[in-house]
Amino acid sequence: MTGRSFVLGLLVGSLGLAGLACAGASSDLVAVDGPAFSQEAINDDANQKAQVSVLDRLQKQPAAPGADAVVAVTGTAELTGLDLASGKTWSYKHPLDHRPQLTGTVVVGTGNGELFVLDAKTGAEKWKSSKAKGKLVGAGSDGKYVAVTLKADSGHKLVVFGPDGSVKMEKATDQPLTSPGISAGLVLVPWKNLYVSAFEIETGAQLATFITDTETTHVVTWGGAVFAGQGRLVRFDKDLLKAKQGGSQLAAPPKELPNVSRRDLLVGPDHDERTTADAIDSTGLTGRPLTSGPAGFESGKIYGGYYPFVFGMDAKTAKLSWVHTGKDDFVAIHAGKDGVVGVDKAGTVKLLAAGNGALVKSFPLGKPALSADILADTLAIGSGSSAPLPEQIKEATTLKDDRLSTAQVWFLDTAAAVPDEATTEVLLQVADSERAAPAIKEASRKAIALRTNGAAAMITLLGRHANFLKGTRTPPVGPMAKALAVMKEKKAVQPLIEQLLDPTLPQIDLQDTAESVAVLAEKEHLPQLQRFMNMYRGSATGNIRLVDSIAAIAAAIIRIDDKGRDFVVAVTKDAFTDADVKLTLEKLLAASAPKKDDKKDDGKDDGKDDKKKKKKVTDDDPTPPGYKKKKAEEGKKKDEKKEEKKEEKKD
């Protein structure tokens, strides 16, 4: 049997069984002949006319408002629902073999071989049916009709039920059908992940088939409009006819989406076969597409979930707007018009404002949620106050949980891009936190090193030293030192030197601290710098960071003191100076030696500092004057001794 004849066979069989005829469509619609769910007639004139008529019907008869509700699986055979408007909960017991779905104003579930439909607001059972044979794939409703797609051994089926649970329409095919939607008396069924076919429910007439030009596993009705897609959502309006040319109103998440939450706005229906939430549910992405005008998202936001986090992002740039940190992992999130609704594992339903993530309301389901579905079609979440973004990021990034580091690093990167002092303080707190995971601390340390403000907070933090009795720890000195050096913050020198001379300064911070001290130190700090060199020059071999730190301090000594070079030369020559230190200091001395032609290469000649210039040009000896004088004296003494010996020999 060919695919087509199989379809026809199924179709005829189903029509015969249901006793339904493919009658002509209503007068405003155009019926299309041929097998259902076939792409053969897509480019025919009839289909194109039918497409226009379907879109006209959808525009004239906006989709009925859906519920504002939550339904959660709270047991192996138990559902708990919540009316988001009143906060009232309900429960319903029924075996479950598929995650229940909220669509229109109803909850559709299956289990124990029957389909059940409940009022989403109250949980009241509307009807049950055993006529939906097969495994539930998806469901759609406008509150009056309920359409389900099913997968059976014989193929795929679409069954549409009337308000009393009677079968109004049934279609069979070998094409994979996914999650349908109902609007304006039409059922719109996605198939083969690319097409959507429309049927008139009352007449059973086959109308148009559309190409969405985006992966399509769902048809949904939100805010009176109809959308289809999965990762992106295309609006069913006249522009849909230009989909192939890229002219449709396609609401797409931004390309810059962080690698944190999932990439698709909706999840493939096969995922809902599991009644318990998984990582896909806890890393959700949601956005409410605009119902008119150019494609986009309500409030200019899309929302991501990442275990205990829900965050708002700019819908065009994916820039983080806010992050809410919950106590428990979220198992579902769903965008409303002005915010997002989330359900966590503990069974708490949270309403978060679009603008700042303020927790506007929260409702308890009264039981932990194994999984949940949310619909917030008309709900106005409203607004509230929340902590500023840097504080929200601090809360999110100091949560110690290895699963969260990907998101936490992204939050910190976001914070690092905010150049204000408050953010610097937050980065300091994260880097200094005992609770933050190592990867997060590292990310905040990197960000701190690049800050150009917050010096006062850094200096205050530098005042804290590790102390066994007080139970205090060394702060993140290295990155602060780097930032303070770039800021040329002279007030930081003494606290930095004190950290440098503190034995508890971690090895990782040692070199950055020494190098920053070297940049900032002045003559008054010379004794402390010399102390550091003397303390370690004899016991640094093998410790590269310590050796390089000694070299940095030596460079500072040369820079700030006229006799600094003598000191460093003396240290280099001292028998107790380690070999590694000697080698490094010798290189430093060679590199920093005054050069004969320093000024010759300098094309500028402003006539100033003539004396200095003359001195440098004529002085080709790298040793400083003091050292030269000492050497000259030593040489003189040697000469005198030689003379004495000569005279002794003569005698």
In the block, residue with structure tokens 């006819």 = 241
Q: Name the residue nearer to other proteins (CB basis): 137 or 551.
A: 551
Q: Name the residue nearer to other proteins (CB basis): 450 or 570.
A: 570
Q: Name the residue nearer to other proteins (CB basis): 576 or 642.
A: 576
CB of 499 to other proteins, least distance (A): 11
CB of 579 to other proteins, least distance (A): 11
CB of 336 to other proteins, least distance (A): 53
For the beta sheet containing 106-111, the strands, ordered from the edge strand earlier in sequence to the opposite edge, are 101-103, 106-111, 114-119, 125-129
Q: Which of 308, 306, 310, 286 is nearest to 298 (CA)?
A: 286
CB of 510 to other proteins, least distance (A): 8
Q: Name the residue nearer to other proteins (CB basis): 503 or 603.
A: 503
CB of 90 to other proteins, least distance (A): 53
The residue ranges that bind other proteins (CB under 8 A) are 466-471, 501-505, 531, 533-539, 546, 574-576, 578
Distance CA 352, CA 451 (A): 31
Q: Name the residue nearer to other proteins (CB basis): 417 or 535.
A: 535
Strand pairing report for 359-364 and 348-353 = antiparallel
Three state DSSP letters for 34-84: CCCCCCCCCCCHHHHHHHHHHHHHHHHCCCCCCCEEEEEEEECCEEEEEEC
Q: Name the residue nearer to other proteins (CB basis): 21 or 535.
A: 535
Q: What one-letter code names the amino acid at 360?
A: V
Distance CA 66, CA 441 (A): 45
Distance CA 180, CA 139 (A): 6
Q: Extract the runs of DSSP E, i.e. beta strands, from 153-194.
A: 155-161, 167-173, 181-183, 186-191
φ, ψ of residue 12 to 5 degrees: the values are -60, -45
Distance CA 93, CA 83 (A): 18
Distance CA 46, CA 63 (A): 25
Q: Name the residue nearer to other proteins (CB basis): 22 or 501.
A: 501
Q: Are 359 and 74 in contact (CB under 8 A)?
A: no
Sequence-distant (6+) residues with CB within 8 A of 607 are: none
The size of the chain, in residues, is 651
CB of 532 to other proteins, least distance (A): 9
CB of 448 to other proteins, least distance (A): 23
Q: Name the residue nearer to other proteins (CB basis): 132 or 581.
A: 581
Distance CA 533, CA 530 (A): 5
CB of 481 to other proteins, least distance (A): 17
Distance CA 607, CA 433 (A): 56
Q: Name the residue nearer to other proteins (CB basis): 19 or 468.
A: 468
Distance CA 16, CA 369 (A): 43
Sequence-distant (6+) residues with CB within 8 A of 121 are: 67, 69, 83, 85, 105
CB of 458 to other proteins, least distance (A): 22
Q: Name the residue nearer to other proteins (CB basis): 144 or 531.
A: 531
Q: Name the residue nearer to other proteins (CB basis): 522 or 574.
A: 574
Q: Are 163 and 144 in contact (CB under 8 A)?
A: yes
Distance CA 632, CA 644 (A): 18
CB of 553 to other proteins, least distance (A): 13
CB of 503 to other proteins, least distance (A): 5
**Which long-range contacts link 557-565 to residues 24+ away (Cβ below 8 Å)?**
557/526, 557/529, 557/530, 557/533, 558/588, 558/592, 559/518, 560/521, 560/522, 560/523, 560/525, 560/526, 561/523, 561/526, 562/624, 562/626, 563/624, 563/626, 564/526, 565/589, 565/592, 565/623, 565/624, 565/627
Beta-carbon-side half-sphere exposure of residue 60 (alpha carbons within 13 Å): 10
Q: Name the residue nearer to other proteins (CB basis): 109 or 475.
A: 475
Q: Name the residue nearer to other proteins (CB basis): 175 or 530.
A: 530
CB of 327 to other proteins, least distance (A): 32
Q: Which of 445, 449, 421 is nearest to 433 (CA)?
A: 445
Burial class (CB in 10 A: 0-12, 13-18, 19+), 207: buried
CB of 501 to other proteins, least distance (A): 5
Strand pairing report for 320-325 and 309-314 = antiparallel
Distance CA 508, CA 479 (A): 10
Distance CA 554, CA 551 (A): 5
CB of 507 to other proteins, least distance (A): 8
> By three-state DSSP, how is residue 350 classified?
strand
Q: Name the residue nearer to other proteins (CB basis): 442 or 502.
A: 502
Q: Name the residue nearer to other proteins (CB basis): 574 or 639.
A: 574
Q: Name the residue nearer to other proteins (CB basis): 260 or 571.
A: 571
Distance CA 421, CA 390 (A): 10
CB of 552 to other proteins, least distance (A): 16
CB of 566 to other proteins, least distance (A): 14
Rg (CA), the chain: 38
